[in-house]
Amino acid sequence: MTELVHTRAELAKARAGLAGTVGVVMTMGALHPGHETLIRAARERADHVLVTIFVNPLQFGPNEDFDRYPRTLDTDLEVCRRAGADLVFAPAVADMYPDGQPTVRVNPGELGEELEGQSRPGFFHGVLTVVLKLLQLTRPDFTFFGEKDYQQLTLVRRMARDLDVPVEVVGVPTVREPDGLALSSRNRYLSADERQVALGLSAALRAGAAAAERGADAGDVLAAAHRALGATPGARLDYLVLTDPDLEPGPVAGPARLLIAAWVGGTRLIDNLAIRLAPRS
């Protein structure tokens, strides 16, 4: 049985009835098998699973897709039920922000201004603020975030550490279509032709990873990724970067992260992959 609650009071009452450990999966709805994997990961780790569904206005820029972001509560509830969630919290904007836009927000620091933050000013202030509020309201032992939004996962981990939030942040690997496309709620904006173009992002990451496996250095890894992206023209590249696993600038050897963001038509897509750079002699 999956219980649906909308208000803070209902949530508090339902949460009080959950004995044992609680895992929270935060979403903006439009749930797909990637979210289902997060819920199942929570199911394996915690006694109870709580899913939040809230399209957070604070993390959308003025020209972004807040109004047209898909809202599909009925089918989302089906996914939650199937994946074994105990409780779904789907508040209205007025429940989350009863005093209007909060004047105090979480500052993500320098990393929040880079990569996604550079293209989407204020994005991570909005994300971390709502994540912290949802953590306060749900008081979980674990919270599960997809690696697909790798910068978000990194910043949530950092926030929990820096602000002593008593929760374990668990990263869950990206779920992909058989042809490599990373699952995203925004994929539903893509036409059939755009979807073909979008495959260039994961192809670029795979080409970079393959080059790294052959012993290529950082420059050659990036060059291989750029070449692969160029092979499926049509994507407007925002960034393609190689960082260390904590998103600090360029590693020369060892574990690294290759991250890409690009526009395909009117849709901005992101993806990333863990790679390992060979030791340099």
Residues at the contact surface with ligand PAF, assessed by CB under 6 A:
26-28, 56, 59, 127, 130-131, 149, 152
Query: Annotated binding residue at 156?
Result: no
- When the beta carbons of 48 and 120 are compared against ligand PAF, the nearer one is 120
**Per the residue annotation, which of 35, 48, 125, 226 is the catalytic one?**
35
- Rounded CA-CA distance 104/102 in Å is 5
- When the beta carbons of 31 and 229 are compared against ligand PAF, the nearer one is 31
Query: Annotated binding residue at 29?
Result: yes
Q: Which of 271, 279, 273 is nearest to 252 (CA)?
A: 279
Query: Annotated binding residue at 59?
Result: yes
- When the beta carbons of 53 and 221 are compared against ligand PAF, the nearer one is 53
Work out how close the CB of 56 gets to ligand PAF at its nearest, in angstroms, rounded to a whole number: 4
Q: Which residues pair with 51 in a beta bridge?
A: 25, 88
Work out how close the CB of 144 gets to ligand PAF at its nearest, in angstroms, rounded to a whole number: 10
Roughly how many angstroms between the first and final C-alpha of the chain, as a whole number?
A: 58
Cα 205 to chain centroid distance, Å, stands at 17
Yes or no: say if 261 and 238 are a contact pair by the CB < 8 Å rule: yes
Query: Annotated binding residue at 250?
Result: no
- Rounded CA-CA distance 160/135 in Å is 10
- When the beta carbons of 127 and 182 are compared against ligand PAF, the nearer one is 127
Work out how close the CB of 276 gets to ligand PAF at its nearest, in angstroms, rounded to a whole number: 27
Q: Which of 29, 19, 151, 136 is nearest to 79 (CA)?
A: 29
Query: Annotated binding residue at 147?
Result: yes
Residue type for position 100 = G
Query: Annotated binding residue at 238?
Result: no
Work out how close the CB of 79 gets to ligand PAF at its nearest, in angstroms, rounded to a whole number: 14
Work out how close the CB of 208 gets to ligand PAF at its nearest, in angstroms, rounded to a whole number: 24
Yes or no: say if 271 and 201 are a contact pair by the CB < 8 Å rule: yes
- Rounded CA-CA distance 175/142 in Å is 20
Query: Annotated binding residue at 32?
Result: yes
Would you call 6 a catalytic residue per the annotation?
no
Neighbours of 59 (CB within 10 A): 21
DSSP string for residues in 30-99 = ---HHHHHHHHHHHHH-SEEEEEE---GGGS-TTSSTTTS---HHHHHHHHHHHT-SEEE---HHHH-TT
- When the beta carbons of 14 and 28 are compared against ligand PAF, the nearer one is 28
Active site residues: 35
Q: Which residues are annotated as a binding site for (R)-pantoate?
A: 59, 152
Q: Which residues are annotated as a binding site for ATP?
A: 28-35, 146-149, 175, 183-186
Q: Which residues are annotated as a binding site for beta-alanine?
A: 59
